[in-house]
A and B are shown apart, each in its own frame.
Chain A
Amino acid sequence: MNSISITPSEFSEMEKNDAETIEKPKLSTVDSAVHSSESLKTVKTTDTQTVDKSRKNPYETMGEIWSMSFIRSLIIPIVGVFMFLGVWHIGASQVQTSLGTLPGPVQVWTQFNGLIQEHQQERAKETAFYERQDARNAKKLANNPDAVVKIRPYTGSPTFFDQIITSLITVMTGFILASLIAIPLGIICGMSAGLYAAINPLIQIFKPVSPLAWLPLVTIVVSAVVVTSDPYFPKAFIISAITVTLCCLWPTVINTTIGVSQIDNDLINVSKVLRLNWFTKVRKIVLPSAVPMIFGGLRLSLGIGWMVLIAAEMLAQNPGLGKFVWDEFQNGSSNSLGRIMVAVIVIGLIGYLLDKVMLILQKKVSWDKNAALR
């Protein structure tokens, strides 16, 4: 096949029978073309296809262009995923571990459904618990209107989905905290070369520090400083969030600094001619012009924060996804490997979704609509 561009029917031909030449029976070509056009929603004459391929412009119709992008954006990725699942399926069955064979996609899917069921059961138990409690209290009050009614919270163990929520809350807390520090710091660094020179070495030194190195420090400091036992802010949560903050500060600081220092000199001159005061200048000129760069930094930061969170939760025992993985690892049942794999995939998917959300936000606030954001 020496054609440079591949039309859908050619593509399907290639897939089906690469070795066969053009002289193959017309009927089978029609057949394969019909198959492909079924899935790609393109209707075309199959005769010209077989007779002479080189003469035909591959982008003859809008439908073809559309179907090309359709192939590229959907079909090929799906093929890639299925190939991966296949390799995983075959490869996993070859690996024997102390907990049995490494689970393949099917077992992981079963585990995922198991986790959903557990979650539903736990919710049902919780509802039942509260119903019982309400009934008991109602009865008590009916007998004696002055009775002191106790309402106890349900204390069942958190399910996988509760842990996802905990992780999301923790990472967002750490990330927002980091942004609140990093953006102002970056703006100041970007506007003052002297301050940047002073802070830059610190950024460079702290940036590569692993969350695992921060964690013991943070744990000891938080344990010493936080003395309340407020149930809404458990220590494990604070430790995890602060570790996330420490690790995801840097990309935003660096990007904001670069964004601010790269402002068009003409715009700075405009602010000088208008005699804008410092605050107005930052608000009206510096910040908007650095917004695309700041958001680039925020996206990097959130990505790092999510990665760091899992490690932090493992060691700080914050009841999130990290703790889930750790507990399953310690548990070592026949289900554990499958459940950890579920967690790995869910962690990946959530990380991807977080990035997508940031991308949507970035597109919303960015004035440079021509910039290619991906």
Chain B
Amino acid sequence: MKDEHLILTEVTIDFPTKNGPFRALDKVNLNIKKGEFVSLIGHSGCGKSTVLNIVAGLHQATEGGVILDGREVNEPGPERAVVFQHHSLLPWLTTYQNVELAVKQIFKGKKSKAEVKDWVEYNLELVHMSHALDKLPAEISGGMKQRVGIARALAMEPVVLLMDEPFGALDALTRAHLQDSLMEIQDNLGNTVIMITHDVDEAVLLSDRIVMMTNGPAATIGEILSVDLDKPRNRIELADDPQYNHYRSEVLRFLYERHALPEKAA
């Protein structure tokens, strides 16, 4: 049973277009263990986000399907919380209220007022945002917004945390900082995480497995790389680690040699 946590079977999706259906994904098979950190990497337009959206339930697979803990995924739900690329906080609510909205909705009738408050504050503490509870999203930096987005997702107590390029829009320093926070949080909570990324270093540093996708149309999984580096990982120590650099070059080779940019391949 332990192996059967999140299973993607023959996931295929066609999008209707003027010139007939467009096959974005073709037969994606993936088996993710509980507590595993999986990265999806590939060039733009290779359907990474589509895979994530199907797991989230925001898109429906045309063929095949997703099973989470023995139940088929048909619609979005809080047990598969999503951290969106562009934070997607409600701009008229404060940091606290944004998380509170999710907590109130998910623990309706299960948590008392005081418990809701504690839980909101606890999750914002996890991402080190306790100092800005009453700030509106417009008043905090991009990195902070993304932290709040992560806090909101974590507050839903998700079985699987789905992250769509969560740090893509951030500068390198902020990104490194948030990656460290994420590793720490995942170490403590042991959530299953699927993260989309463009960043090879990020993928190697954070993941247990890296799923490398071929270019679309009809994109699918090209190769899966297991990253056997001890956790917790330290980015500075790993910088000179031959094993780390090996993984890194593996991913680079896949992306730039075997599945170069679509224009070059064509």
Taken together as a complex, chains A and B put the C-alpha atoms of A291 and B91 apart, in Å, by 12
Tell me whether A285 is interfacial, beta carbon within 8 Å: yes
Q: Count the A residues whose beta carbon is within 8 Å of the partner chain — how many?
A: 20
Mark A247-287 against chain B: 1 for CB-CB distance below 8 A, else 0. Answer: 00000000000000000101101101111100010001100
A368 CB contacts on chain B under 8 angstroms: 91, 138
Structural contact, A269 and B86, CB atoms closer than 8 A: no
B86 CB contacts on chain A under 8 angstroms: 266
B56 CB contacts on chain A under 8 angstroms: 269, 273
Mark B35-76 against chain A: 1 for CB-CB distance below 8 A, else 0. Answer: 000000000000000000000111000000000000000011
Given contacts A266-B88, A288-B92, contact A273 B82 (CB under 8 A): yes
Selected contact of A274 from candidates B84, B102, B136, B138, CB within 8 Å: B102
Taken together as a complex, chains A and B put the C-alpha atoms of A223 and B3 apart, in Å, by 77
Mark A357-372 against chain B: 1 for CB-CB distance below 8 A, else 0. Answer: 0000000000111100
Structural contact, B78 and A273, CB atoms closer than 8 A: yes
Structural contact, A284 and B78, CB atoms closer than 8 A: no
Tell me whether B106 is interfacial, beta carbon within 8 Å: yes
- B106 and chain A: residue at smallest CB distance: A274
Min CB–CB distance B40 → chain A (angstroms)? 18
Taken together as a complex, chains A and B put the C-alpha atoms of A284 and B100 apart, in Å, by 12
Taken together as a complex, chains A and B put the C-alpha atoms of A276 and B156 apart, in Å, by 13
A370 CB contacts on chain B under 8 angstroms: 138
Given contacts A266-B84, A272-B76, contact A284 B58 (CB under 8 A): no
Min CB–CB distance B145 → chain A (angstroms)? 12
Interface hub of A264, A273, A280, A289 (most chain B Cβ within 10 A):
A273
Structural contact, B76 and A269, CB atoms closer than 8 A: yes
Structural contact, A274 and B101, CB atoms closer than 8 A: yes
B105 CB contacts on chain A under 8 angstroms: 274-276, 280
Tell me whether B209 is interfacial, beta carbon within 8 Å: no
B76 CB contacts on chain A under 8 angstroms: 269, 272-273, 275
Structural contact, B88 and A274, CB atoms closer than 8 A: no
Selected contact of B88 from candidates A267, A275, A284, A291, CB within 8 Å: A267
B148 CB contacts on chain A under 8 angstroms: none
B106 CB contacts on chain A under 8 angstroms: 274
8 A Cβ contacts from A215-268 to B: 264, 266-267
Mark B76-109 against chain A: 1 for CB-CB distance below 8 A, else 0. Answer: 1110111010101011100000000110011000
A284 CB contacts on chain B under 8 angstroms: 90, 101
Min CB–CB distance B213 → chain A (angstroms)? 22
Min CB–CB distance A270 → chain B (angstroms)? 5
Taken together as a complex, chains A and B put the C-alpha atoms of A367 and B56 apart, in Å, by 29
B101 CB contacts on chain A under 8 angstroms: 274, 284
A273 CB contacts on chain B under 8 angstroms: 56, 58, 76-78, 80-82, 156
Min CB–CB distance B101 → chain A (angstroms)? 6
Structural contact, A269 and B77, CB atoms closer than 8 A: no
Taken together as a complex, chains A and B put the C-alpha atoms of A289 and B81 apart, in Å, by 22
Structural contact, A274 and B78, CB atoms closer than 8 A: yes
Taken together as a complex, chains A and B put the C-alpha atoms of A11 and B63 apart, in Å, by 75
Taken together as a complex, chains A and B put the C-alpha atoms of A267 and B87 apart, in Å, by 10
B90 CB contacts on chain A under 8 angstroms: 267, 270, 284-285, 288-289
Given contacts A272-B58, A274-B106, A276-B105, contact A367 B91 (CB under 8 A): yes
Beyond the given A275-B76, A289-B90, please list 6 additional residue pairs across the A-B interface where CB-CB is below 8 A. Answer: A266-B84, A267-B90, A269-B58, A269-B82, A272-B58, A369-B138
A-B contact pairs, 19 of them (CB 8 A): A266-B86, A267-B90, A269-B56, A272-B57, A272-B75, A273-B76, A273-B77, A273-B81, A274-B106, A275-B78, A276-B105, A280-B105, A284-B101, A285-B90, A288-B92, A289-B92, A291-B92, A367-B92, A370-B138
